Amino acid sequence: MRRARLPVRRIIPLMAVAAALLARSPAAPDSTTRQRHLPNGMRVVVQDNDHTATLVMCALVHVTALHEPRGKAGMRHLVQNLVARADCCAGEVAAAAARISVSVAPDYVELNLSAPAESLAACPDLMRRMLFAPAFTPEALAAERAALTRSLAARDEVPAPRALGRFYECLYPGVGAGDLGAGDPATVAAIELDDVRRFHSESYLPNATVMALSGGVDGAVAMQAITDAMSGLLPGAMPQQAPEPLPTVPGVTRITGNRDTSIYVVGGRALPLAAPEYPAAAVGITALSSGMDSRLYRALRLERALAYTIIGELTPSATTPSAFVLVACDPARLDEVVGVVDDEIARIVSEPLSAAELRRAKRYLIGRHALRKQRNQDVAHYLALFELLGGPQGFRRDPQLAGEIAAVDATAVTAAMRRVFEPTWAVRLEGRQTAQAD
């Protein structure tokens, strides 16, 4: 089963990505994590988990939004959907009782294979074939191209994805968010089979891939099975990224909507996961806009009942790092909402958090680790993610971040918030007021 393709997926489920990402504590005492660098450049991380009878293999291929050919926005998403069809080995996937899911992020494309633990022997070979020897047919391309074109065309019909899309186009023109919602229906519709095959052969390389496994299997056996399946792949020349696009001039972009909801998005370019200031930025965004103890929740919901939805997100990307606050409200209250949000941002970049606010934000971040440790898919994903984006420490940096968060002080938070919000870009989507709807 694939992960949802609709761009609205990123709005609600991802609002606590930064919090969850930073909150993971060290692996359970009875688990073992192994790492191996294969001769072809692939990195493999395996973690035992005696408390489950399943396994998840996660592959992150370092093909970023800046690798995507200009004029073919949506190529990564289309190719990844074709990979996930598993047309090259559909019968074997079914025999292994495996499930497939995919996602697209600014820094990578992701393929997950979930299966019973007794299917371990089959899974590494299935992953190798899907990733590096897929079957691309005209019929499959036509089906996936049509589905992706429809989902991208529907993106602008929902206020929040439309506002976020415009916000990211201001931050990273021509690249956007670089995730499932990035792409252009017209360019996707024009992508041909030769384009797909060329992009795949140039980008899906073992030396651009991190493979992780979590599950109820013997870690040493799993590591050897992955090594045997993947070592015969030949490395290739890593493709060049396009230059990072310059942002538009900071300021407010106004657009109109056709629904009775208004959206205000404000934020800026932020910090990658490997940056030393990242924990302080995560604490600041949490204190500003995550949870019922945040400043914006109190100001917009508890004190004045102005907003439907309040979201704060810090994207831990090395390609399109960003942070934003998104608020949805009644169109008649938009001016008030904008005033409150702007005032709170001005305050957090100039005034240190109180001791109580700092303590609550840290607890919110660190306290989320238990939820994320309960699912093999999350464990495998974050093993691979930190190995890819965590800097020289790789996956080992993940458990250290809880301590880094605990050590953050109010001065560091203020400095990080200045870096995020000075300057700022904002999108103000003005929905139709109910009285004007008829």
The pLDDT, as a whole number, for residue 29 is: 36
Q: What is the mean pLDDT of residues 325-330?
A: 97
Flag whether 7 is in a domain.
no
Same domain, 391 and 273: yes
Q: List, for residues 46-67, the tens digit of each pLDDT value.
A: 998 888 899 999 999 999 999 9
Q: Is the pLDDT of residue 5 over 70?
A: no
According to the model, what pLDDT value does residue 23 have? Answer: 38
| Percent with pLDDT over 70 in the chain | 91
The answer as to whether 298 is a domain residue is yes
| 110 within a domain of the structure (yes/no) | yes
* Last residue within a domain, chosen from 163, 198, 230: 230
Average of pLDDT values for 251-258? 94
String of DSSP letters for 53-76: SEEEEEEEE---TTTSPTT-TTHH
In this prediction, residue 19 carries a pLDDT of 41
Exposed e or buried b for every residue in 75-90, given b needs 16+ CB within 10 A?
A: bbbbbbbbbbbbebbe
Tell me: do 402 and 335 sit in the same domain.
Answer: yes
Q: Write the CA distances from 133 to 78, 222, 233, 322, integer angstroms.
A: 16, 21, 10, 34
Residue 298 sits in the same domain as residue 341: yes
Q: Quick check: is 68 in a domain?
A: yes
pLDDT of residue 433: 80
CATH code: domain of residue 421: 3.30.830.10
| pLDDT value at residue 27 | 40
Asked if residue 289 and residue 180 are part of one domain, the reply reads no
Tokens 């968060």 map to which residue?
405
Specify whether 296 is located in the same domain as 387: yes
What pLDDT does 4 receive?
Answer: 32
* Cα–Cα nearest to 325, from 342, 311, 338, 340: 311
Q: Is position 13 within any domain? A: no
240 assigned to some structural domain: no
Whether residues 327 and 373 share a domain: the answer is yes
pLDDT of residue 32: 84
Digit-coded pLDDT (tens) for 396-417: 988 888 889 999 999 999 999 9
Task: Tell me: do 210 and 276 sit in the same domain.
Answer: no
Q: Which of these three, 230, 260, 293, is where a domain ends?
A: 230
Are 142 and 191 spatial neighbours (Cβ–Cβ below 8 Å)? no
Q: Are residues 168 and 130 both part of a single domain?
A: yes
In a domain, 89, yes or no: yes
Q: What pLDDT digit, counting tens, does each position of 223-235 carry? A: 999 999 999 999 9
CA triplet 185, 133, 225: central angle to 5 degrees? Answer: 125
Q: Is residue 23 part of a domain?
A: no
| Per-residue CA distances from 368 to 197, 211, 225 (Å) | 41, 25, 33
Of the chain, the end-to-end C-alpha distance in Å amounts to 42
Do 324 and 189 belong together in one domain? no
Specify the pTM.
Answer: 0.89
Question: Is the same domain home to 57 and 103?
Answer: yes
Say whether both 34 and 115 belong to one domain: yes
**Structural domain for 413, as ranges:** 251-436
Q: Total structural domains in the chain?
A: 2
